[in-house]
Amino acid sequence: MRKDYNLEKRKFVIGGFIVLVVAIYLFRLVELQLSDNKYKESADSNAFVNKTIYPSRGLIYDRNGKLLVYNQPAYDLVMIHKDVQPFDTADFCNTLQIPRADFEKRLAEITDRNKNRNYSPYIEQIVIQHLSAQDYGRIQEKLYRFPGFYIVKKIVREYNYAAAANVLGDIREVNAKDIENDKYYNPGDYTGDLGVEKSYEKFLRGKKGREILIRDAVGKIKGKYKDGADDVTAEAGNDLKLSIDIDLQEYGERLMQNKIGAVVAIDPSTGEVLALVSSPGYDPALLVGKERGKNYAKLVNNKYKPLFDRSIMAAYPPGSTFKPTQGLIFRQEGIVDLTTAFPCHRGYINAGLRVGCHGHGSPIALKPALQTSCNAYFCWGFKRMVDMKSKYGSVPKAFEVWKNHMVSQGYGYKLGIDLPGESRGFIPNTKYYNKMLGEGKWTAQSVISIAIGQGEILATPLQIANLCATIANRGYYYAPHVVKSIMGVGILKRFKEKHHTTIDSRYYDDIAEGMRMAVLGGTCRTANLPGWEVCGKTGTAQNPHGRDHSVFMGFAPMNNPKIAVCAFVENAGFGATYGVPIGSLMMEKYLNGKVTRTALESRMVNSNTIAYSGVKKH
């Protein structure tokens, strides 16, 4: 047998070929198994079904432990598109009693990424929200016939009182942006939308649980992965105890019906908000369940803007309620003492400018000026301070000192209430007037109306109530807040900090006394409440929207105060006509637990000022 050695070399070609192929396959194995985690994830997404277990959302109580908001189960029909297999559409639609065309349209909507940015065949998509009890029962029985469709139990909020919607807020389904910003959320989850539901979302929502199930290729669930060793139980959200007194809140809303405006009541000793009324309000139950979208649109389109929380979002000219701040600044800066008197001949008349006033004695000192709400006194005082070059050097420098005192009293910046959307109001500074009137071209005279809370000055009802609390406390305030305690957590740190004003506490007594005089024998005599030393200040705020706003701020008792109130009624005329009675009734209700001035009460409840409102914008 002859052996061809030339041909024997070909064993290297054949052997080399298989070595090469094995080498290529080894590289491929490295690529598949060692280079990335993608296949591991795919395998897990095949085999494991992560079932989310929703925690129950925190409940909300009022300050006296009355339950305001609680949870009710609701059932959503969802699908995981990847797992959906051909099914009997007719049977499905009959069971749920929906027209087939609607169902097909809904499916098309879900899978259209233009309309549903969160679409993924691997993630639960809501097909029908809030099944009725009957539908739930029927579909639950037949669900095994429709692989890929599941029932998810969700919660909806239920309300015991048709009040405090602006404080409580509501929950809504998360949108694409929420999901982007917070990994906690999946499509179909709920999140707080307004009120404390939004600001305390992270406490209320709790922690989601997870159950890992094993699923085979045909979609059959084979059991729990590792017998549930890796499962996570859901943690219920923290309950909230509001500082709101729901009875007082309801009462405030009743007094304010058919009026536009706000009522804020604060416990000065803690900064806790006792009532936060915005009128017109709405029933929080409107924003729950299937009808939410429709009702929400109605509220948005309502010309009185019920969703706009006037108590914290609306910035109004504070009018004469501003005057105590001026008295405090004048005393602190040594511009006036208690005997300093300014002339008032039915107003401040200077260099061709007249700021009108009403009849009272002249010249007039600080306390009587507060009692009678004299415009001239505060204009003269303001003029003396801002134009005092000998002390401050220049008008702008004097004005900055004035502005800083104002800011320290809680004006011009947000107070930091634990609700979304608070307005900061407005206190002008030197830069603002330099820009508006020209540098060096303005004096106290040019901006004199701000001395009486008009002109550029804007404040929210909350800021006015807070100012009142500051006076009640004689020089400090706690940032107002509506949550008294997060159960299991306590109160947020920032609400335990005392904010002192730049005014010495001793000057406050005179102001409180002036306000006491206003109640006893001045502008707000209606506020007098036998048994309590009530202090008050009216305001009649001129505004570009029509009739003057009727404003009142007051606190009681004069020493160791329990409540500070601001009532702000848009376009209702003199402070004394609506502001004072409403604020006073709120005090009576809170301090006495009941109201005996029933005639006054029914006059307020039955009056209507909405007709006078120049509803345009705020």
Partner 1 sequence: MELRSTNESNNTLLRSIDWLTVILYLIMVVAGAVSIYAASYDYDGASMFAFSEFSGKQFLWIGLSFVIGFSLLLIDRRVYEAYAYPIYGVMVLLLAATIVVAPNIKGSHSWLVLGPVSLQPAEFAKFATSLALAKLFSTYNFSLKERRNFLRAVAIIVVPILLIILQNETGSALVYMSFILVLYREGMSGFVLYAGLCMIVYFVVALKFSATLTMGISTGAFIVFVIIMVLILAMLFIYCRSFILGRNVSLGYMGAALLVVGLHFLGVDINGYVFFFTVIGASLIYLLIGMFHDDLKKVLITVIFAVASIVFLFTVNFAFSKLQPHQQMRIKVTLGIEQDLRGAGYNVNQSKIAIGSGGLWGKGFLNGTQTKLKYVPEQHTDFIYCTIGEEEGFWGSAGVLLLFLILILRIITIAERQHTAFGRVYAYCVASIFIFHLCINVGMVLGLCPVIGIPLPFFSYGGSSLWGFTFLLFILLRIDAARKDYGAW
Q: How far is the CB of 5 from partner 1 (least distance, A)?
A: 11
String of contacts with partner 1 for each residue 31-60, x by CB under 8 A = -xxx---xxx-xxx-xxx------------
Q: How far is the CB of 215 from partner 1 (least distance, A)?
A: 7
Where are the extended beta strands (E) located within 180-267? 190-192, 209-215, 221-224, 240-242, 261-267
Among 115, 117, 202, 222, binds partner 1 (CB under 8 A): 222
Question: How many CB atoms neighbour CB 545 within 10 A?
Answer: 17
Two structure tokens written together for 384: 């003396």
- The DSSP secondary structure of 107-144, one letter per residue, reads HHHHH-TTT-TT--TTS-EEEESS--HHHHHHHHHHGG
Q: How far is the CB of 9 from partner 1 (least distance, A)?
A: 10
Two structure tokens written together for 151: 């029932």
Per the CB < 8 A criterion, the answer to whether 564 and 472 are in contact is yes
Question: How many CB atoms neighbour CB 216 within 10 A?
Answer: 10
Residue 217 within binding range of partner 1, rule CB under 8 A: yes
* Binding region for partner 1 (CB under 8 A) out of 19-27, 73-81, 264-272, 523-531: 19-27
Q: Which is nearer to partner 1, 38 or 493 (CB)?
A: 38
Please, which of residues 190-209 interact with partner 1 by CB under 8 A? none
Q: Which is nearer to partner 1, 29 or 108 (CB)?
A: 29
Q: CA 454, 457, 459: angle at the middle one, nearest 5?
A: 110
Alpha-carbon 498 to chain mean position: 22
Q: Which is nearer to partner 1, 224 or 562 (CB)?
A: 224
Q: How far is the CB of 232 from partner 1 (least distance, A)?
A: 20
Where are the extended beta strands (E) located within 1-64? 48-53, 60-61
Residue 73 within binding range of partner 1, rule CB under 8 A: no
Q: Which is nearer to partner 1, 25 or 87 (CB)?
A: 25
Q: Which is nearer to partner 1, 33 or 505 (CB)?
A: 33
Q: Which is nearer to partner 1, 24 or 353 (CB)?
A: 24
String of contacts with partner 1 for each residue 135-154, x by CB under 8 A = --------------------
Residue 17 within binding range of partner 1, rule CB under 8 A: yes
Per the CB < 8 A criterion, the answer to whether 209 and 233 are in contact is yes
Helix (H) or strand (E) holding 230: none
Cα–Cα distance measured from residue 500 to residue 85, given in angstroms and rounded to the nearest whole number: 67
CA nearest 335: which of 296, 276, 383, 405? 383
Q: How far is the CB of 18 from partner 1 (least distance, A)?
A: 5
Per the CB < 8 A criterion, the answer to whether 117 and 126 are in contact is no
Cα–Cα distance measured from residue 409 to residue 405, given in angstroms and rounded to the nearest whole number: 7
Q: How far is the CB of 105 from partner 1 (least distance, A)?
A: 24
Q: CA 271, 273, 275: angle at the middle one, nearest 5?
A: 155
Where are the extended beta strands (E) located within 351-468? 353-356
Among 1, 101, 229, 351, binds partner 1 (CB under 8 A): 1
- At residue 360, the 3 state secondary structure works out as coil
Per the CB < 8 A criterion, the answer to whether 171 and 197 are in contact is yes
Residue 28 within binding range of partner 1, rule CB under 8 A: yes
String of contacts with partner 1 for each residue 158-197, x by CB under 8 A = ----------------------------------------
Among 111, 214, 575, 613, binds partner 1 (CB under 8 A): 214
Residue 87 within binding range of partner 1, rule CB under 8 A: no
Q: Which is nearer to partner 1, 35 or 114 (CB)?
A: 35
String of contacts with partner 1 for each residue 529-568, x by CB under 8 A = ----------------------------------------
Beta-strand pair 563-569/498-500: unpaired
Contacts of 472 (CB under 8 A, 6+ apart): 268, 512, 535, 555, 561, 564
Residue 223 within binding range of partner 1, rule CB under 8 A: yes
* Binding region for partner 1 (CB under 8 A) out of 18-26, 166-174, 389-397, 431-439: 18-26
Q: Which is nearer to partner 1, 10 or 498 (CB)?
A: 10
Q: How far is the CB of 22 from partner 1 (least distance, A)?
A: 5
- At residue 400, the 3 state secondary structure works out as helix
CA nearest 581: which of 244, 230, 259, 134? 259
Among 7, 90, 101, 351, binds partner 1 (CB under 8 A): 7
Residue 294 within binding range of partner 1, rule CB under 8 A: no
Q: At what angle do helices 461-472 and 323-332 cross, to 10 degrees?
A: 50
First to last CA, the chain: 111
Among 101, 133, 218, 351, binds partner 1 (CB under 8 A): 218
Residue 413 within binding range of partner 1, rule CB under 8 A: no
Residue 338 within binding range of partner 1, rule CB under 8 A: no
Q: Which is nearer to partner 1, 12 or 413 (CB)?
A: 12
Binding site for partner 1 (CB under 8 A): 1, 4, 7-8, 10-11, 13-15, 17-19, 21-22, 24-26, 28-30, 32-34, 38-40, 42-44, 46-48, 214-218, 222-223
